[in-house]
């Protein structure tokens, strides 16, 4: 689905109903600081449209993922982290806890990805 889901925390953040530290945005995504950082720099890039995961977003609109990656690069560079990792946990077995498309943007030293 591509509409908002009322009980989804990331839909509520995108809508401005739940406060977050916003680092940047474009037509396809909003970047915020992660509430529970796993690296010196840990941002999320959240899709504007509600889909369960990055693959579902890509299936619905392949270009949207490119715009999310571009936003991730922008906020990473703006924070002085030209080198960074992108992580898209997909499925509960991979540690996904919020089932709304998001990229983790990790800069600086970080713990291993198992807990992301
Ligand atoms: P996942 O485990 O689904 O890949 O990642 C979800 C991420 O969202 C976690 O790193 C968690 O800390 C973060 N998170 C969950 N709820 C909130 C929230 O309300 N605000 C912010 N800023 N981050 C959140
Ligand atoms: Zn959502």
Atom of ligand 1 nearest to the CA of 33: 22
Domains and CATH numbers, the chain: 9-115 (3.30.428.10)
Using most ligand atoms within 8 A of CB, pick from 10, 20, 32, 35 the residue to mutate for ligand 1.
35
Predicted local confidence at residue 6, as pLDDT: 78
Ligand nearest to the CA of 35: 1
Predicted local confidence at residue 90, as pLDDT: 98
Q: Is 32's C-beta closer than 6 angstroms to any atom of ligand 1?
A: yes
- Percent over 90 (pLDDT), the chain: 87
- Asked if residues 75 and 24 have their Cβ atoms less than 8 Å apart, the reply is yes
Predicted local confidence at residue 5, as pLDDT: 79
The first and second tokens of residue 21, run together, are 């530290």
Atom of ligand 1 nearest to the CA of 18: 19
Q: Is 109's C-beta closer than 6 angstroms to any atom of ligand 1?
A: no
Alpha-carbon distance 27 to 95, whole Å?
Answer: 27
Q: Higher model confidence: residue 109 or residue 103? A: 103
Q: What is the pLDDT of residues 35-92, one digit of tens each?
A: 999 999 999 999 999 999 999 999 999 999 999 999 999 999 999 999 999 999 999 9
Predicted local confidence at residue 113, as pLDDT: 47
Predicted local confidence at residue 33, as pLDDT: 98
Write down the residue that tokens 């945005």 correspond to: 25
pLDDT over threshold 50, residue 110:
yes
């Amino acid at each position: 689905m591509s509409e908002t889901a009322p009980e989804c925390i990331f839909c509520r953040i995108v809508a401005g109903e739940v406060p977050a530290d916003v680092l940047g945005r474009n037509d396809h995504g909003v970047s915020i600081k992660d509430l529970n950082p796993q690296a010196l720099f840990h941002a999320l890039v959240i899709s504007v449209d509600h889909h369960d995961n990055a693959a579902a977003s890509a299936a619905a609109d392949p270009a949207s993922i490119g715009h999310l990656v571009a936003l991730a690069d922008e906020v990473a560079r703006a924070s002085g982290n030209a080198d960074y990792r992108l992580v898209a946990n997909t499925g509960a077995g991979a540690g996904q806890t919020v089932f709304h498309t998001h990229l983790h943007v990790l800069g600086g030293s970080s713990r291993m990805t198992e807990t992301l």
